[in-house]
Amino acid sequence: MADEMEQWLASLLRLNDEEEKMTDKQIKIIQAAVEMFAEKGYAATSTSEIAQKAGVAEGTIFRHYKTKKELLISIVTPIMSKLVAPFVLRDFHKVLDSEYEHFEDFLRAVMRNRLEFALKNAPIIKIMLHEIPFHPELQTQFKEQLFPQVADRVKRIVTHFQSRGELVDMPPFTLIRMAASVIVGYILTRSLILPDNNWNDAEEIERAVQFIMHGIMP
């Protein structure tokens, strides 16, 4: 987890530096806030705790950020606009744009790809899951910058395999939602909820694919 956090912080600090050169104190504040938000959540973290962890006076935070909410947005906004959408899609493009003989081949590729991403970037996923439901501006960024780029392409894949008779005649987004619930459920359990379990990813991915394709009938 420490290595994952360090990689993410490095990416975040590079993004912030592109817009304005950050002072050493700002960097310490951002680092402390990211670690505290990931560990405790935004609501349970106080600015005094962030200041203590950063080794700065609490007033220093408010010289750079008017409120704790502004500090959160300063962290999440560049991630959403510059890191999450391009980063999530960078390795995902090849999965979405590849040709597959069968729909289940596509499912396996998606699960392997997204599981690898989640294991490498658990801190960013944790903060997003904590905060997006409670901050409308973050929901808007997610809907506008990430969801359309993925949903439209997956819809085309689903309708293609429906036309070949591999999938039931059901609204494509209904199928996507049902399949996504199985895929996301495993990935979140594997990467965030029970990461230390003795997982066999290959077996679990195959079980998930077969469940999506055939349900629970024997």
> What is the DSSP secondary-structure string of 67-125?
SHHHHHHHHHHHIIIIIIHHHHHHHHHHHHHS--SSHHHHHHHHHHHHHHHHHH-HHHH
Helix H or strand E encompassing 136 = helix 136-145
Full residue range of the structural domain in which residue 200 is found: 2-214
pLDDT bin (cut points 50, 70, 90) of residue 83 is very low
C-alpha 172/C-alpha 185 separation (Å) is 20
C-alpha 92/C-alpha 82 separation (Å) is 16
Report how far apart, in Å, the C-alpha atoms of 83 and of each of 9, 89, 92, 172, 177 are. 11, 10, 14, 28, 25
Average pLDDT for 74-78: 63
Report the Cα–Cα distance between both ends of the chain, in Å, rounded. 39
Output DSSP code: residue 167: S
Counting every residue written for the chain, the total comes to 218
Q: Supply 208's token pair.
A: 């998930």
Instruction: Using a pLDDT cut of 90, give the percent of the chain over it.
Output: 39
pLDDT bin (cut points 50, 70, 90) of residue 25 is confident
Report the domain count for the chain. Answer: 1
Q: Is 141 exposed, middle or buried (0-12, 13-18, 19+ CB in 10 A)?
A: buried
Average pLDDT for 42-66: 88
- Of 53-67, 101-115, 163-177, 186-200, least confident by mean pLDDT is 53-67
CATH code of the domain in which 93 resides: 1.10.357.10
Q: Tell me which residue of 181, 173, 178, 145 sits closest to 157, measured CA to CA.
A: 173
Supply the Cα-derived Rg of the chain in whole angstroms.
Answer: 20
Q: Supply 80's token pair.
A: 């959403």
Q: In degrees rounded to 5, what are phi and psi of residue 58?
A: -60, -35
